[in-house]
């Protein structure tokens, strides 16, 4: 069930909301929590019911570990709990990657497991690792099994985040009591996030896909222009797609009075690569910082240790995104960017802000090629093309420009007329200069103008809601 599917928007969501409000009004809070939990499990089962047991087992085992750690912190028990979660994700997500590489290295032919990746496993595993670590530190209180299960399985964030920290949500779940009321201002914000997020996904992100897919499907055939437009379009598609999902998740949470954390803060407006990682997938960054980077030393143990910690954190962060060498390479590239930026900052040399922002944006878009390409070979082929090493060809629309420039030719493109470049530049201008959805959500007022704007976004989204397409981050 996708957020942007009619079944979700018109059947599941209204039923869940109606049931929740009925439970809080006529029953006690436990029933309301159980109703939401049941709805969340139905949501998950709609994807693949076979993995419902896995989700249940993960929640149950982690809850038991957490209870023990809360009462009696024990490093061995913590290691076992974290190990359980890592083993789960290693088995389902990385086993075939490991086996395939082992076969390649040894010439063996161990059969691959061909396991389907349980949806959301990367997210709910990290959520629970954080819970166990904090339970060991004495930083969690017991909210009961139902609330814990709901904290993990709450459907708005279950499949693709935000990676919710227990401190974000558990106190809010404890406030769901009899006659619980969600303020109309909160509902309004929820509608805003949901409908604007839907607009971003179906109108903007999905419209960019035709400029991305053909380029990355045949990397060796892309021209200079196609490679650049495809890369820039993908940078925008990923941002709009992923931020849209997070915003829809936030909006859905608000409809139940639950505030999920913001996950994107205009990342392409970042001034440095470190700033980028404080704005992009913020909840993942928070997790990596608190539970990986800082525990392995952070920036407190000298330059060499800091650079190593940055690199290791980003390598593993890359690997989290996918079981493939290109993801590892993408993480490593960002680790290199961060390490370079950190070392540069120690020299206290400041670049002019526009240059710093431009370089950061260029580096991020450059690295996205690895993220999207089918493999590292395709990525390097596209990079070479983007550098003009395979010739510089512009589409026919720019033939007069091509004629003017030495070494530049024009070719009839299979995929582009040339106008796409204008659209991509316009979108980037918007993204780089305008407030983001969360910033706008804080300023809405109940006026006709805002009602018109939100309604128009919803109608536009419904016009485009022809064939629902999956959110890109579902693959993780």
Given the rule CB under 8 A, which residues bind another protein?
6-7, 10, 183-185, 187-189, 191, 195, 206, 209-210, 213-214, 217-218, 221, 223, 250, 259, 262, 396, 399, 410-415, 438, 441-447, 450-451, 454-455, 458-459, 462-467, 469
b/e burial code for range 76-113 (CB count within 10 A of at least 16 → b): ebbeebbebbeebbeebbeebbeeeeeeeeeeeeeeee
CB of 369 to another protein, least distance (A): 20
CB of 255 to another protein, least distance (A): 10
Q: Which is nearer to another protein, 134 or 226 (CB)?
A: 226
Measured over the CA atoms of residue 121, residue 364, residue 331 and residue 338, the dihedral's sign is negative
> How many CB atoms are located within 10 Å of the residue 184 CB?
9
| Catalytic residue, candidates 281, 321, 334, 415 | 321
CB of 173 to another protein, least distance (A): 18
Q: Which is nearer to another protein, 37 or 195 (CB)?
A: 195
Distances (CA, A) of 72 to 56, 131, 136, 264, 275: 24, 15, 8, 37, 38
SS3 of residue 392 by DSSP? strand
For residues 288 and 293, give the distance between their C-alpha atoms in angstroms, rounded to a whole number.
6
SS3 of residue 395 by DSSP? strand
Q: Is 321 a catalytic residue?
A: yes
CB of 253 to another protein, least distance (A): 11
Q: Which is nearer to another protein, 61 or 411 (CB)?
A: 411
Q: Which is nearer to another protein, 69 or 188 (CB)?
A: 188
Of the CA atoms within 13 Å of residue 337, those in its CB half-sphere come to: 24
CB of 151 to another protein, least distance (A): 20
If residue 394 lies in a helix (H) or strand (E), which one and from where to where? strand 392-395
Q: Which is nearer to another protein, 101 or 185 (CB)?
A: 185
Burial of residue 271 (number of CB atoms within 10 Å: 0-12, 13-18, 19+): middle
Secondary structure of 64-112 as H, E, C letters: HHHHHHHHCCCHHHHHHHHHHHHHHHHHHHHHHHHHHHHHHHHCCCCCC
For residues 125 and 161, give the distance between their C-alpha atoms in angstroms, rounded to a whole number.
11
The residues that are catalytic are: 321
């Amino acid at each position: 069930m996708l957020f942007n599917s009619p079944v979700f928007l018109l059947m599941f969501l209204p039923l869940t909301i109606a049931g929740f409000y009925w439970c809080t009004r006529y029953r006690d809070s436990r029933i309301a929590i159980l109703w939401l939990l049941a709805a969340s499990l139905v949501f998950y089962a709609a994807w693949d019911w076979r993995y419902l047991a896995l989700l249940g087992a993960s929640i149950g085992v982690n809850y038991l570990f957490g209870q023990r750690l809360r009462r009696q912190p024990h490093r061995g028990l913590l290691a076992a709990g974290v190990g359980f979660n890592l083993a789960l994700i290693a088995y389902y997500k990385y086993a075939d990657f490991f086996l395939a590489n082992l076969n390649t290295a040894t010439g063996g032919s161990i059969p691959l497991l061909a396991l389907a990746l349980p949806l959301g496993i990367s997210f709910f595993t990290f959520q629970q690792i954080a819970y166990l670590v904090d339970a060991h530190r004495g930083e969690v209180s017991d909210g009961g099994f139902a609330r814990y299960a709901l904290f993990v399985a709450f459907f708005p964030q279950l499949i693709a985040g935000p990676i919710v920290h227990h401190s974000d949500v558990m106190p809010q779940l404890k406030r769901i009591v009899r006659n619980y009321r969600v303020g109309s201002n909160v509902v309004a914000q929820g509608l805003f996030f949901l409908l604007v997020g839907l607009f971003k996904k179906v109108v903007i992100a999905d419209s960019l896909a035709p400029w991305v897919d053909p380029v990355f499907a045949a990397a060796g055939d892309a021209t200079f222009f196609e490679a650049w437009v495809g890369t820039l379009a993908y940078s925008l598609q990923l941002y709009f797609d992923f931020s849209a999902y997070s915003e829809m998740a936030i909006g859905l949470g608000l409809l139940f009075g639950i505030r999920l954390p913001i996950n994107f803060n205009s990342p392409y407006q970042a001034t440095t690569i470190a700033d980028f990682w404080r704005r992009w997938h913020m909840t993942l960054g928070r997790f990596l910082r608190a539970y990986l980077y800082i525990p392995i030393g952070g920036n407190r143990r000298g330059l060499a240790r800091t650079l190593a910690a940055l690199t290791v954190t980003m390598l593993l962060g890359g690997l989290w995104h996918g079981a493939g060498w290109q993801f590892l390479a993408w993480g490593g590239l960002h680790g290199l960017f961060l390490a370079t930026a950190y070392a540069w900052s120690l020299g206290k040399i400041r670049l002019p802000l526009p240059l710093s922002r431009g370089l950061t944006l260029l580096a991020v878009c450059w690295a996205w090629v690895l993220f999207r390409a089918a493999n590292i070979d395709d990525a390097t082929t596209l990079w070479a093309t983007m550098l003009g090493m395979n010739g510089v060809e512009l589409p026919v629309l720019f033939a007069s420009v091509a004629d003017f420039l030495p070494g530049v030719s024009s070719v009839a493109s299979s995929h582009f007329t040339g106008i796409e470049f204008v659209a991509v530049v316009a979108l980037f201008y918007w993204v780089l200069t305008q407030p983001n959805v969360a910033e706008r959500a804080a300023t809405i007022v109940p006026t006709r103008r805002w009602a018109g704007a939100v309604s128009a976004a919803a109608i536009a989204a419904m016009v485009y809601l022809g064939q629902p397409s999956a959110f890109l981050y579902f693959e993780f």
